[in-house]
Amino acid sequence: DSLWDLAIAEVEKRENPDDDGKHVEVWEKSIFFMGNKNGGKTTIILRCLEREEIPKPTLALEYTFGRRARRHNTPKDIAHFWELGGGTSLLELIRIPITSNNVRSFAVVLVLDLSKPNELWTTMEKLLQVTRNHVNKILTKLEKTSPEVATEIKQRMRNNLQRDHPDYELVDPFPIPLVIIGSKYDIFHEFDSETRKIISKTLRFVSHYYGASLVFTSKSEALLLKARVLINHLAFGYDKSKSLSVDHSKPLFIPAGLDSLSQIGPPPVTDSDIGKMRANTPLELWRKVFEKTFPPKSFCNLQDTKDPAQDLQYAEYEVDAVRAQKNQ
């Protein structure tokens, strides 16, 4: 059979379900990983897909996928995993994986390196801002072409928080499902307790504000498993975890919608300082308090991006020889 014959047979099989009359739809989701450079994104993806590979540095935008069967003898569901490398230096590539065709089944995982608090807010803000702007553009387009899809997406993000939740009017949910992972908890755990408290409280506020889930992880199997539970829920529709951990002296695990501003408390700063800080939104106030403790590093990303042509993992003798000849 040619590839086309197989494709036709596959379509007919899907359109005309088996004799028992059950039509099983294949679940297809996409997840986009982004975050700090060397923050551990690839390691988390490999663990979710149960692959025993040694992670290689991600170049630009990488793609892989996973398949799982829900039950015995059912078609396997598919999850597409996209990963953006280079921290915040390649923001324009965010447009490639998220399109109007798949935005309904898309989710974002933001991996933040807890061991680098001075880069944390800048990385988070830039990546989430560009992603949000891009998704909003898609939604605006969808409002004209298929308004019911746009309404469904907007409504779904509001559903994370029950209408009777005291913070229902105070938060600004991200337009598509979002998970924030704080990586390298083993290094973070060595920080003094006050530093840990400020970072933890700030990330709790940001996650709650965006309607996101929050989990801290490291290379330890138990913590990776918790991150996997959240990602498998997005990728394969597995059950949500009911557990909750908000104690700052332990790794945080807070599924979306289970936190509240009253539990998080005010930004960790004295009342006299809060009066001096001019902020238009709660998010801006938290940013100012956070950056007072951890001044953001001014780092130029572009100088940081290595030329892929020089990267040994992509070496190809024939191509490189011709290239060297051309340069000469």
Tokens of 242: 């009911």
Q: What is the pLDDT of residue 245?
A: 76
Q: What is the pLDDT of residue 268?
A: 75
Q: Assess whether pLDDT exceeds 80 at residue 72.
A: no
User: CA-to-CA distance for 63 and 235, rounded, in angstroms?
Assistant: 14
Q: Assess whether pLDDT exceeds 50 at residue 21.
A: no
What pLDDT digit, counting tens, does each position of 238-264 carry?
Answer: 777 777 777 777 887 888 777 778 888
Sign of the CA dihedral 293, 298, 299, 302?
positive
Q: What is the mean pLDDT of residues 6-30?
A: 69
Burial readout 93-118 (b: 16 or more C-beta within 10 A, e: otherwise): bbeebbeeeebbbbbbbbbbbbbbbe
What pLDDT digit, counting tens, does each position of 127-165 carry?
Answer: 888 888 888 888 888 878 888 887 887 777 777 667 777
What pLDDT digit, counting tens, does each position of 33-59 carry?
Answer: 888 888 777 877 777 777 777 777 777
Report residue 326's pLDDT band, with 50, 70 and 90 as the boundaries: very high
Tokens of 207: 């996650």
For the CA atoms of 213, 132, 128, 209, what is the dihedral angle to 10 degrees? -40
Q: What is the mean pLDDT of residues 80-91?
A: 80
pTM of the entire predicted model: 0.78
Amino acid at 328: Q
Q: Assess whether pLDDT exceeds 70 at residue 224.
A: yes
Q: What is the mean pLDDT of residues 62-67?
A: 84
Report the 10 Å Cβ neighbour count for 229: 19
257, 160 Cβ separation under 8 angstroms: yes
- For the chain, the three-class secondary structure string (H helix, E strand, C coil) is CCHHHHHHHHHHHHHCCCCCCCCCCCCEEEEEEEECCCCCHHHHHHHHCCCCCCCCCCCCEEEEEEEEECCCCCCEEEEEEEEECCCCCCHHHHHCCCCCCCHHHEEEEEEEECCCHHHHHHHHHHHHHHHHHHHHHHHHHHHHHCHHHHHHHHHHHHCCCCCCCCCCCCCCCCCCCEEEEEECHHHHCCCCHHHHHHHHHHHHHHHHHCCCEEEECCCCHHHHHHHHHHHHHHHHCCCCCCCCECCCCCCCEECCCCCCHHHHCCCCCCHHHHHHCCCCCHHHHHHHHHHHHCCCCCCCCHHHCCCHHHCHHHCCHHHHHHHHHHHC
Q: What is the pLDDT of residue 322?
A: 92
Q: What is the pLDDT of residue 239?
A: 73
Report the 10 Å Cβ neighbour count for 32: 21
Q: Assess whether pLDDT exceeds 60 at residue 90.
A: yes
Q: What is the mean pLDDT of residues 165-178?
A: 78
238, 232 Cβ separation under 8 angstroms: yes
The CATH number of the structural domain formed by 24-296 is 3.40.50.300
User: CA-to-CA distance for 106 and 234, rounded, in angstroms?
Assistant: 9
User: CA-to-CA distance for 230 and 181, rounded, in angstroms?
Assistant: 10
- Cα angle for residues 64, 178, 76 (degrees, 5° grid): 40
User: CA-to-CA distance for 289 and 267, rounded, in angstroms?
Assistant: 7
Q: Assess whether pLDDT exceeds 70 at residue 303.
A: no
User: CA-to-CA distance for 189 and 205, rounded, in angstroms?
Assistant: 20
Q: What is the mean pLDDT of residues 264-289?
A: 75
